[in-house]
């Protein structure tokens, strides 16, 4: 039995860290910097837990959180943990339909949201998206709690919507509810191989132990230091390394509402590091590619004292050696590429700065973290020799803190992760091990793509594109992009007789993906083609299409129905 919020806050208040800063909110988009000590944060969280309890939330009830990067998002997460009520945070860049799917699956008693988010200089109104999602969903929450932000206040629906400030002010602080180590702390939806996202469940006990352990052993961080994960609370990196791990370990965590560039310039990260004396920075390689693109010589670093920084951790997508070298040379600190997934909650393969750091081989996240028995298998389930690409799997049992199941979907969990190779967890990443035991992560074996460190399913995008009345069939593939790593690209065959402008149809498709999935899908390119390349049994040859788009070497598959179609695809791409 334990309580995760107790371990993240109260334990430190009771053991000498009451006056240490727990949370720094740094928001260049609202020109705000604020901080809270462990004592202050504990009191705010205990108060908001009282507000949630006042709305009827108790142990086991779900609470959905759809918020921008404001401190109230962290407060709401910890308040749920305090009550033993699993939270489900939905990333703000998802649109109403994605939100509706998650509302239906998690069936939250209460939804906590904000009137708006701020994307550089654009105000994104969240409340209309939330209202539409609740309308679309079959399930209806009892109430919502809305944080009104001055950039765009939202009209509240009487009887359903409550104002954050009113409920928080009226509430009494509440204590921590004990839960079983195996009770769920949260559900985090992530892209699966279908349009229906998978609700990854995280438990309380294993999670707290594993995350606490990683702080020193993987990240090399001591309690009291400032740790900054420049991600979003809507993603796994935000859950684990903005909120839970640093606080449980007694670190000061930074919540940054801004971008690496444009808020206001490519010096934004250096300003934050210098101003808050950040010791460890964690972000996605794409953030560094964005900075490098705008400031190749690192001139925006010069005004800032970066002497506090000891290490940079990168994850979420493959780290290209150019980005790794650029960061190493400019910053002069250890740069660690590490590989993990929403499902695992913490690193699988990483250089471990608190244990025995290994020499870096650019392009490899180095070696498995203790707790992980990683193997590389061929299609028959046999282990492959060194340097042979295969399916990367983890021998069961999985270490603590990894997913025990999918929300309300044990069968889906077995099918997705456990059945392909009995006795092993399928990561769905392909790659190889070298003669020194280093892992090299090459690609996904499913339809997941990584766009600016965000995990998306091309299958889900295809479902939206295929629903357009002018589209007879379609394929969406992930093509290489210098900044975002990958970008989705659509190929559509029009329904016979449709003679509307291709440009208009393409722009309608772009809008409908933005409306259904969200702007984060970054779906901007659609090619209208006469046919799609297929095998004789009708399977679309997406991987050959991707190779053509990326100018990778390719050969005509022996199973192709009509090789001429590949020439048509090349022509559509201007190749």
- Give residues in contact with ligand AMP (CB under 6 A): 190, 236, 315-319, 337-342, 365, 429, 441, 444, 450, 455
Q: How many residues does the chain have?
A: 575
**Both structure tokens of 243:** 């909120």
CB 8 within 8 A of CB 78: yes
User: From the list 164, 228, 235, 326, which residue makes contact with ligand COA (rule: CB under 6 A)?
Assistant: 235
Tell me which of ligand AMP, ligand COA, none is bound by residue 441, counting a contact when its beta carbon lies within the kind-specific cut-off of 5 to 8 angstroms. Answer: ligand AMP
Tell me which of ligand AMP, ligand COA, none is bound by residue 270, counting a contact when its beta carbon lies within the kind-specific cut-off of 5 to 8 angstroms. Answer: none
Cβ neighbours around 261 below 10 Å, total: 20
**Both structure tokens of 223:** 């309690």
User: From the list 201, 242, 284, 464, which residue makes contact with ligand COA (rule: CB under 6 A)?
Assistant: 284
Residues whose CB falls within 8 Å of the CB of residue 159, separated by 6 or more in sequence, listed in order: none
Instruction: Quote the CA–CA distance of 254 and 227 in Å, as a whole number.
Output: 7
User: From the list 354, 363, 519, 570, which residue makes contact with ligand COA (rule: CB under 6 A)?
Assistant: 519
Closest by Cα among 373, 376, 442 to 402: 373
Instruction: Quote the CA–CA distance of 481 and 484 in Å, as a whole number.
Output: 6
- Alpha-carbon radius of gyration of the chain: 24
Tell me which of ligand AMP, ligand COA, none is bound by residue 117, counting a contact when its beta carbon lies within the kind-specific cut-off of 5 to 8 angstroms. Answer: ligand COA
214: left (phi over 0), alpha (psi -120 to 50) or beta: alpha
Is 417 or 523 the residue whose CB approaches ligand COA more closely? 523
Q: Does 452 bind ligand COA (CB under 6 A)?
A: yes
Q: Does 93 bind ligand COA (CB under 6 A)?
A: yes
- Applying CB under 6 A, which part among 98-106, 193-201, 230-238, 460-468 lies near ligand COA? 230-238
CA dist list (Å): 458 to 175, 284, 449, 521: 44, 21, 7, 9
Tell me which of ligand AMP, ligand COA, none is bound by residue 284, counting a contact when its beta carbon lies within the kind-specific cut-off of 5 to 8 angstroms. Answer: ligand COA
Q: Does 52 bind ligand COA (CB under 6 A)?
A: no
Residue 325 CB, shortest distance to ligand COA, in Å, is: 19
- The strand pairing partners of 25, in sequence order, are 34, 255
Is 263 or 286 the residue whose CB approaches ligand AMP more closely? 286
Residue 74 CB, shortest distance to ligand COA, in Å, is: 15
Residue 536 burial class via C-beta count within 10 angstroms: exposed 0-12, middle 13-18, buried 19 and up: exposed
User: From the list 52, 168, 237, 403, which residue makes contact with ligand COA (rule: CB under 6 A)?
Assistant: 237
User: From the list 92, 206, 345, 371, which residue makes contact with ligand COA (rule: CB under 6 A)?
Assistant: 92
Q: Does 176 bind ligand COA (CB under 6 A)?
A: no
Is 444 or 502 the residue whose CB approaches ligand AMP more closely? 444
CB 258 within 8 A of CB 268: yes
- Give exposure, 231-252, as e/b (b: 16+ Cβ within 10 Å): bbbbbbbbbbbbbbbbbbbbbb
Q: Does 453 bind ligand COA (CB under 6 A)?
A: yes
CB 240 within 8 A of CB 271: no
User: From the list 23, 522, 528, 569, which residue makes contact with ligand COA (rule: CB under 6 A)?
Assistant: 522
Residue 111 CB, shortest distance to ligand COA, in Å, is: 16
Q: Does 259 bind ligand COA (CB under 6 A)?
A: yes
Tell me which of ligand COA, ligand AMP, none is bound by residue 407, counting a contact when its beta carbon lies within the kind-specific cut-off of 5 to 8 angstroms. Answer: none
3-state secondary structure 403-461: CCCECCCHHHHHHHHHCCCCCEEEEEEEEEECCCCCEEEEEECCCEEEECCEEEEHHHH
Is 324 or 452 the residue whose CB approaches ligand COA more closely? 452
Residue 347 CB, shortest distance to ligand AMP, in Å, is: 9
- Applying CB under 6 A, which part among 178-186, 285-293, 353-361, 432-440 lies near ligand COA? 285-293
Which residues contact ligand COA (rule: CB under 6 A)? 68, 92-93, 117, 119, 124, 231-232, 235, 237, 259-261, 284, 286-287, 290, 316, 452-454, 519-520, 522
């Amino acid at each position: 039995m334990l309580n995760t919020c107790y371990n993240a806050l109260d334990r430190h208040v009771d053991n000498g860290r009451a006056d240490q800063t727990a949370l720094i909110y740094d928001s260049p988009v609202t020109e705000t910097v604020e901080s809270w000590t462990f004592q202050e944060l504990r009191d705010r969280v205990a108060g908001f837990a009282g507000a949630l309890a006042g709305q009827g939330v108790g142990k086991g009830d779900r609470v959905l959180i759809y918020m921008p990067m404001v401190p109230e998002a962290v407060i709401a997460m910890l308040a749920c943990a305090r009550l033993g009520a699993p939270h489900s945070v939905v990333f703000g860049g998802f649109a109403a339909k994605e939100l509706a799917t998650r509302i239906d699956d998690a069936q939250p008693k209460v939804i906590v949201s904000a009137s708006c988010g701020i994307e550089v200089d654009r105000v994104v109104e969240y409340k209309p998206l939330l209202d539409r999602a609740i309308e679309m969903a079959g399930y209806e929450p009892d109430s919502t709690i809305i944080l009104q932000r001055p950039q765009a206040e939202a009209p509240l629906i009487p009887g359903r919507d409550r104002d954050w400030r009113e409920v928080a002010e009226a509430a009494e602080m509440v204590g921590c509810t004990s839960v079983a180590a195996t009770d769920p702390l949260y559900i985090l939806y992530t892209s699966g191989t279908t349009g229906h996202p998978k609700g990854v469940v995280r438990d309380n006990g294993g999670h707290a132990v594993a995350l606490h352990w990683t702080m020193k052993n993987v990240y090399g961080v001591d309690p009291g230091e400032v740790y900054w994960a420049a991600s979003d609370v809507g993603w796994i990196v935000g859950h684990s390394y903005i909120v839970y791990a640093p606080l449980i370990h007694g670190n000061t965590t930074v919540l940054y509402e801004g971008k690496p560039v444009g808020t206001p310039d490519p010096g934004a990260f250096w300003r934050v590091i210098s101003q808050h004396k950040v010791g460890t920075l964690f972000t996605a390689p794409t953030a560094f590619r964005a900075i490098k693109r705008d400031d190749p010589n690192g001139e925006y670093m010069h005004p800032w004292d970066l002497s506090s920084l000891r290490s940079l951790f990168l994850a979420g997508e493959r780290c290209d050696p150019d980005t790794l070298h650029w960061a190493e040379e400019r910053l002069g600190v250890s740069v660690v590429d590490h590989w993990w997934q929403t499902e695992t909650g913490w690193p699988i393969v990483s250089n471990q700065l608190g244990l025995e750091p290994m020499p870096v081989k650019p392009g490899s996240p180095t070696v498995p973290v203790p707790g992980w028995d990683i193997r590389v298998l061929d299609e028959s389930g046999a282990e492959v020799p060194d340097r042979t690409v295969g399916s990367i799997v983890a021998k069961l049992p999985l270490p603590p803190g990894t997913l025990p199941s999918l929300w309300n979907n044990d069968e889906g969990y077995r099918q997705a992760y456990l059945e392909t190779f009995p006795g092993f967890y399928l990561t769905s990443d392909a790659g190889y091990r070298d003669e020194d035991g280093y892992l090299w992560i090459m690609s996904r074996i499913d339809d997941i793509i990584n766009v600016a460190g965000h995990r998306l399913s091309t299958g889900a995008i295809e479902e939206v594109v295929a629903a357009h009345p002018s589209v007879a069939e379609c394929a969406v593939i992930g093509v290489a992009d210098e900044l975002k790593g990958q970008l989705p690209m659509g190929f559509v065959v029009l329904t016979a007789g449709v003679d509307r402008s291709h440009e208009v149809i393409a722009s309608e498709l772009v809008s409908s993906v933005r409306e259904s999935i969200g702007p984060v899908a970054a779906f901007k390119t659609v090619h209208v083609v006469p046919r799609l390349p297929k095998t004789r049994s009708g399977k679309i040859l997406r991987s050959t299409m991707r190779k053509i788009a990326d100018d990778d070497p390719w050969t005509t598959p022996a199973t192709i129905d009509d090789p001429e179609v590949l020439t048509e695809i090349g022509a559509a791409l201007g190749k």
